[in-house]
Amino acid sequence: MKDVLKTPRLHVQDALGAGGHVALSPEQSHYILHVMRLKTGDVVRLFNGRDGEWRAAVGANKKRAVEAMVNERLKPQESEPNLWLCCAPLKRAHFDFMIMKATELGVARIQPVLTARAQIREVNVGRCLSIAIEAAEQSERLNVPEIKAPLTLDFLIKNWPRERLPIVCAEFGEATPIAQALQQPDIKAFSQAAVVTGPEGGFAPEELERLRQMPHALPVRLGPRILRADTAALAALACWQAHGGDWRDF
């Protein structure tokens, strides 16, 4: 199994099953042939977020598209914690980094949120999805998080699902240290949660007050230091995974 883990791992859209054939994209084919320099018969691993992870063999090269022949399933599909990240868009480098690391941390959805102080108002969803796919491939995830189009904070609050716990990263006002907050018995009852973070300038006071008034809202503090918006989001995600996610069993 250790040798298998060293083989290239690719996310595909096609269904996966023994005996199947999958045509890799031109970009994936270039990576397989010219970066990894694999030959016909060499092993790759494929996953699609539905059928688990499969061993496949490099096949024929047809018009710059490599065909992979699916052999056996290596891992069954498993569910991951139902955790969202609702975050204000950031400048490109910081937002790219946050998407990459949030994917590694196991989020199910990344929802950009437009707030009063957000300097960035547009999000290239396709680019963000490509970053998430690459992070999922490298981190051994069996799925890729959803990347949604931006919503206004007002729309998000009005349409918030009541069964999902909103963990609001509060820069000021009353808030509980996150480690203490996540140990509360009533909080542990939630199987669905979302970390909500603002832009570099933070939430406006009226925005933070509206977030606090959401059903079951959990305003939390993230320690004594001032964190960048991307750092705050990742710190909060890690805390949730440790207390209520899939880190507890490892």
30 pLDDT band, cuts 50/70/90, is very high
Of 75, 92, 110, which closes a domain? 75
CA-to-CA distance for 14 and 22, rounded, in angstroms?
Answer: 7
Q: Are residues 123 and 238 in the same domain?
A: yes
| 124 plus 239 within the same structural domain | yes
The pLDDT of residue 178: 94
- Nearest in space to 238 (alpha carbons), one of 54, 138, 148, 106: 106
Task: Work out how many domains the chain is built from and give that number.
Answer: 2
Average pLDDT of the chain to the nearest whole number: 93
Q: What does the alpha-carbon distance between residue 22 and residue 70 come to, in Å, rounded to a whole number?
A: 7
Other CB atoms within 10 Å distance of the CB of residue 87: 27
What pLDDT does 173 receive? 75
Q: Is residue 177 part of a domain?
A: yes
What is the structure's pLDDT at 250? 66
Q: What percent of the chain has pLDDT over 70?
A: 97
Whether 112 is in a domain gets the answer yes
The pLDDT assigned to 147 comes to: 98
Beta strands across the sheet bearing 43-47: 9-11, 43-47, 53-62, 65-75, 21-23
163/216 same-domain check: yes
Q: What is the pLDDT of residue 80?
A: 86
33-68: pLDDT as tens digits: 999 999 999 999 999 999 999 999 999 877 778 999
Do the domain assignments include residue 250? Answer: no
pLDDT confidence of residue 4: 65
Residue 1 has pLDDT above 70, yes or no: no
- Residue 90's domain comprises 82-244
Q: Which of 218, 30, 47 is nearest to 143 (CA)?
A: 47
pLDDT for residue 44: 97
Indicate the residue among 75, 102, 124 that finishes a domain. 75
- Confidence tier at 138 by pLDDT (50, 70, 90): very high
**Is a pLDDT exceeding 80 seen at residue 171?**
no
As a whole number, mean pLDDT of residues 123-134 equals 97
